[in-house]
Amino acid sequence: MKCLSTLCMVLVVCGSLAAQPPVTADRALAREILKELVEIPTTPAEGTTRAAQAVTARLLKAGFPKDDVQIITTEKNVANVVARFRGRGLRTPGVLLMAHLDVVPARREDWSVDPWMLVERDGWFYGRGSADNKAGAAMLVANLITLRRAQWQPARDLIVVLTGDEETSQRGIQSLVTTHRALLDADLAFNTDGGGVILRDGRAAIFEVQASEKIYADYQLEVTDVGGHSSLVRPENPIYTLSAALTRIGEHQFPLHVSDVTRMFLQRSAATESGQTAIDMRAVAAVPPDQAAAARLSRSPYYNAQLRTTCVATKIEGGHANNALPQSARAVVNCRILPGLPGADVEAVIRKLAGEKVQVTVLEAPIASPPSTPTPAMLSRLEPLVAKYWPGIPVIPLMQAGATDGMYTRSGGIPTYGVSAISENPEDVRAHGKDERVGVEPFYTATQFWLELMRTYGDDTH
Ligand SMILES: [Zn+2]
């Protein structure tokens, strides 16, 4: 825009004020989109094509150019939406904003309400996907439309990605990050499908930022033998060999490793804890970490999972008759690997512990995904925003169990932060379960929070 008058000069000089008149999230629109999405079943069997079409129709109707709103079908029934809110070109690359359209199945007979209807009751929206993650998709789409209607334009591109198979193979995001990388030219991503505002005694206590995810891997352990009549006992027995291997794995403790994200998590969480736990958290966050404090903290499965890779036997089968020597015994060992450390090392440890007589097969290979350590620049914009909505609560980066689409954007080199901003009680998480729900006010608050987040980072040219 050229400046032709003094008034115009003043507006430009005033900068952000002139560029950013307040915009309020459109609650009715966000609710309407949430309702539309919940009422289109998007289980793996049904796919996400209809939901993707519904979303793109809305964006096109709101005036987004056809070329900027694309449905990318990565597999049969897996439709992903990539919508670009073109910026003024003041900075490239853009900012990625993520959610997913697919949901896990739900059976009407298991629920108190119809899972495929959005039911508003007692301050909650009920329905499959209401929390995970159609609330996120609805917020992003509603905000794109609201911001465009308000004639606001970001300084750099905002790229909304809604994937179609997050709950299953996550090949949609993998394909977008690799094959369709030009569409995802971002150097920062925010995911609605991670983090959250944690309630304690009904009050907002912590703003969680998912900055890292543990990496999933499955290994099969198998021992075979010729077998025989169980009256003629021989020393070799696959069940015994496998049991001994599993016992060694069970007794093994992977070494303590404190990443930068975990260090920030411990330092900031210590302020919300008291007594020995708070002391131990600070001691483990120190460099080098205090081993005795780490041992005490590790007694809690939750903190143990933050501090080290874990592997655990999850399935076992073997033998074929009560009166026969077993011909085979098999088990599955599931590992949750600390990100940033090579997964192959874990496989080597499992092989070594299993021993030579046990055949180890990789059932699900680990996928490298580096942690996204929050930078001061990122936090300097996020923290004031959080303080505006939830004054006084700490912003705590953490590693979650995984795995969301964020794993793949991180492994694709885009630092990714899960900041759903929806408040929830950690004792009553219903995602994937019966009577899934999201709070009505928390949904609207998060929608407004995300609108400001989109403006803040969309206008950030640093
Ligand atoms: Zn999800």
Ligand 1 mean position to 149 CA, how many Å? Answer: 29
Rounded distance from Cα 129 to ligand 1 centre (Å): 8
Question: Would you say residue 335 has pLDDT above 90?
Answer: yes
* Closest residue by Cα to residue 335 from 359, 357, 303, 367: 367
pLDDT, residue 358, reads 98
Going through 58-202 in order, the beta strands assigned E by DSSP cover 69-75, 78-85, 94-100, 119-121, 124-126, 158-163, 186-191, 196-200
What are the respective helix, strand and coil percentages of the chain, to the nearest 5? 35, 25, 40
Cα torsion at 242, 248, 250, 251 (round to 10°)?
Answer: 160
CA 194–ligand 1 middle distance (angstroms): 8
36 Cα–ligand 1 center, Å: 18
d(CA 344, CA 367): 10
Mean pLDDT for all residues in the chain: 93
Calculate the alpha carbon distances from 289 to 41, 301, 397 in Å.
48, 19, 19
Res 18: pLDDT: 45
CA distance 388 to 192: 19
- Ligand 1 center to residue 429 CA distance, Å? 12
Residue 375 amino acid letter? T
What is the distance in A from the centroid of ligand 1 to the CA of 193?
5
Cβ neighbors of 446 (< 8 A, separation 6 or more) are 135, 139, 420, 421, 422, 423
Distance 132 CA to ligand 1 centre (A): 5
- Name the 3-class secondary structure at 144: helix
Distance, CA 32 to ligand 1 centroid (Å)? 20
Q: Given a cut of 80, is residue 277 above it in pLDDT?
A: yes
Each residue's pLDDT tens digit, 225-252: 999 999 999 999 999 999 999 999 999 9
User: How many angstroms is it from 170 CA to the middle of ligand 1?
Assistant: 11
Cα 432 to ligand 1 centroid, rounded to whole Å: 9
Which tokens is 119 given? 């039911």
Please write the tens of the pLDDT for every residue from 56-84: 999 999 999 999 999 999 999 999 999 99
Residue-wise pLDDT for 6-39, tens only, equals 333 333 333 444 455 688 999 999 999 999 999 9
Ligand 1 centroid to residue 197 C-alpha, Å: 16
The neighbour count for residue 49, using CB atoms within 10 Å, is: 18
Distance 47 CA to ligand 1 centre (A): 15
Lowest mean pLDDT among 10-14, 196-200, 208-212: 10-14
Residue 276: phi and psi, rounded to 5, are -60, -35
**CA 321 to centroid of ligand 1, rounded, Å:** 42
What pLDDT does 432 receive?
86
Whole-number pLDDT of residue 105: 95
The pLDDT of 43-51, averaged and rounded, is 97
* Cα 405 to ligand 1 centre (Å): 8
For 383-436, how does the pLDDT look when each residue is reduced to its tens digit (9 = 90+)?
999 999 999 999 999 999 877 999 999 999 999 999 999 999 888 888 888 999
Rounded Cα distance between 277 and 187, Å, is 36
Other residues' Cβ atoms within 10 Å of the Cβ of residue 115: 23
Distance 131 CA to ligand 1 centre (A): 8
